[in-house]
């Protein structure tokens, strides 16, 4: 029975992590946006306003959850939960360090890809259930955008999987460091199995994956509905899109899902392309930096740092690039990213056959 108790603890721990991350993610977002726009951001609550988001969530919990009279009550109340649970379930397959993964499933990547797509359904549910034209428009835009961008993201992921030859996220992570059991050839010719560090990351093992990573990153911005792809909640046109009618705790769930999603997609990007929990420091001759900085504790440290860096880039992009129009969005997905993804996949095949 101890077995099941561990499961519960891990599940609660991941939920706690998502919640804490969302709180500080919102704070970081406000501070970064303030820096970019030459403002100060929150300053009043706590030192440098660091307690601002905690005060916000306390306020939100106390607020009444208002259900519009014309709304479909069940769909309206369930939608935020489905949106969040879809993202939260994705965390089940994420490896945090060597041998440290909540659920070791051999099709982990495919599972995460599948479970994320459930979020679209939740958004449509919110849009329909609110019975509000802005919500409905936002939900439809969101679904169209997510479905379109799943295709380039899928091709970018496939080109990395073709190099790694596995769908198990832990196996993919293992291959990109000194713990690898197979031979690693950086750039296709330089044997770096013992060197490790940054030279055994997937983007160095097969440099065309840098392009695939950029494709994946752009697509992941679109899938988490962040600017420059935030037309589903474009506040200047649609009030705030599919979550216009939400208040109090339901609204908090939508926000929680958005930040958890940012972390999740960044983490997938890190695992597939940027060496997962492996250290960026290589072994240089006698200085065994890579061997020294590989382990469970270090693994958690590295993957968190890398993922937070990517989340930071997401925020940076949000506050610097203006919103895309719908037609520009579709042009980018279908005419630029999808063909590029195809080319990456082709190169991956050739690379795997001839250079590895």
Partner 1 sequence: MNIVKILFYIMACVAIGSALYTAYTKNLVRSVFMFFVTLFALAGLYVIALADFVAVTQVVIYVGGILVLILFAFMLSGKQSLDAATRQKSKIINLGNLPALLLAGLFFIVMFNALNNNVEPAWVKAAVQSGKVIKPGTVLIGNIGVNLMTKYLLPFEAISVLLMIALVGSAHLSRKEQEA
- Residue closer to partner 1 by CB (options 15, 110) is 110
Decide if residue 118 touches partner 1 (CB under 8 A).
yes
Q: Token pair for residue 250? A: 């339901």
- Residue closer to partner 1 by CB (options 87, 311) is 87
Decide if residue 117 touches partner 1 (CB under 8 A).
yes
- Alpha-carbon Rg for the chain in angstroms: 21
- Residue closer to partner 1 by CB (options 186, 345) is 345
Q: Provide, rounded to whole angstroms, the least separation between the CB of residue 193 and partner 1.
A: 24
- Residue closer to partner 1 by CB (options 105, 356) is 105
Query: Which residues are CB-contacts of 253 (< 8 A; sequence separation ≥ 6)?
Result: 80, 81, 83, 84
Query: Which range in 105-113, 261-269, 294-302, 336-344 contacts partner 1 by CB under 8 A?
Result: 105-113
Q: Provide, rounded to whole angstroms, the least separation between the CB of residue 136 and partner 1.
A: 6
Among 36, 147, 287, 346, binds partner 1 (CB under 8 A): 147
Q: How far is CA 96 from each of CA 172, 199, 272, rounded to the nearest angstrom?
A: 12, 20, 13
Q: Token pair for residue 298? A: 């270090």
Decide if residue 125 touches partner 1 (CB under 8 A).
yes
What number of chain residues touch partner 1 (CB under 8 A)?
A: 26
Among 29, 56, 150, 223, binds partner 1 (CB under 8 A): 150
Among 24, 113, 316, 334, binds partner 1 (CB under 8 A): 113
Q: How far apart are CA 99 and CA 277, in angstroms?
A: 11
Pattern 288-307, partner 1, x by CB under 8 A: --------------------
Q: Provide, rounded to whole angstroms, the least separation between the CB of residue 115 and partner 1.
A: 7
Q: Provide, rounded to whole angstroms, the least separation between the CB of residue 117 and partner 1.
A: 3
Q: Token pair for residue 94? A: 């994420």
Q: Provide, rounded to whole angstroms, the least separation between the CB of residue 335 and partner 1.
A: 15
Q: How far apart are CA 175 and CA 54, in angstroms?
A: 40
Among 53, 120, 202, 338, binds partner 1 (CB under 8 A): 120
Neighbours of 287 (CB within 10 A): 11
- Please provide residue 339's backbone torsions phi and psi, each rounded to the nearest 5 degrees: -60, -40
Q: How far apart are CA 240 and CA 233, in angstroms?
A: 4
Residues 45-104 that bind partner 1 (CB under 8 A): 72, 74-75
Query: Which residues are CB-contacts of 189 (< 8 A; sequence separation ≥ 6)?
Result: 355
Contact (Cβ atoms closer than 8 angstroms) between residue 226 and residue 318: yes
Decide if residue 115 touches partner 1 (CB under 8 A).
yes
Question: What is the total residue count of the chain?
Answer: 356
Neighbours of 37 (CB within 10 A): 10
The 3-class secondary structure across 259-327, one letter per residue, is: HHHHHHHHHHHHHHHCCCCCCCCCCECCECHHHHCCCHHHHHHHHHHHHHHHHHHHHHHHCCCCCCCHH
Among 20, 61, 65, 114, binds partner 1 (CB under 8 A): 114
End-to-end CA distance of the chain: 45
Among 20, 35, 58, 106, binds partner 1 (CB under 8 A): 106
Residues that bind partner 1 (CB under 8 A): 72, 74-75, 105-107, 110-111, 113-115, 117-118, 120-121, 124-125, 127-128, 136, 139-140, 143, 147, 150, 167
């Amino acid at each position: 029975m101890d077995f099941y108790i561990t499961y519960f603890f891990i599940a609660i721990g991941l939920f706690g992590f998502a919640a804490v991350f969302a709180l500080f993610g919102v704070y970081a977002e406000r501070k970064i946006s303030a820096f970019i726009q030459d403002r100060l951001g929150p300053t009043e609550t706590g030192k440098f306003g660091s307690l601002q988001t905690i005060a916000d969530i306390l306020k939100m919990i106390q607020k009444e959850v208002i259900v519009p009279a014309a709304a479909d009550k069940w769909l309206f109340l369930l939608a935020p939960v489905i949106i969040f649970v879809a993202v939260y379930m994705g965390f089940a397959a994420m490896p945090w360090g060597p041998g440290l993964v909540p659920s070791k499933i051999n099709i982990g990547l495919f599972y995460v890809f599948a479970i994320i797509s459930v979020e679209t359904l939740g958004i449509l549910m919110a849009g329909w259930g609110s019975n509000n034209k802005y919500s409905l428009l936002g939900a439809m835009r969101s679904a169209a955008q997510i479905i379109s961008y799943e295709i380039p993201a899928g091709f970018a992921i496939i080109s990395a999987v073709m190099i790694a030859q596995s769908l198990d996220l832990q196996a993919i992570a293992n291959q990109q460091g000194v713990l690898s059991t197979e031979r690693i050839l950086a750039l296709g010719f330089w044997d770096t199995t013992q060197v490790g560090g940054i030279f055994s990351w997937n983007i160095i093992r097969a440099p065309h994956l840098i392009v695939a990573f950029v494709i994946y990153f752009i697509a992941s911005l679109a899938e988490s509905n962040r600017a420059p792809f935030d037309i589903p909640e474009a506040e200047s046109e649609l009030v705030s899109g599919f979550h216009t009618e939400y208040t109090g705790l339901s609204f908090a769930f939508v926000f929680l899902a958005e930040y958890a999603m940012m972390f999740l997609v960044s983490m997938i990007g890190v695992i597939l392309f940027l060496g997962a929990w492996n250290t960026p420091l290589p072994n240089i001759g006698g200085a065994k930096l890579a061997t020294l900085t590989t382990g469970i504790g270090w693994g958690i440290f590295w993957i968190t740092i890398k993922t937070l860096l990517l989340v930071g880039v997401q925020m940076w992009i949000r506050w610097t690039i203006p919103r895309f129009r719908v037609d520009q969005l579709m042009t980018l997905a279908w005419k630029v990213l999808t063909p590029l993804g195809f080319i990456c996949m082709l190169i991956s095949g050739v690379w795997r056959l001839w250079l590895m």
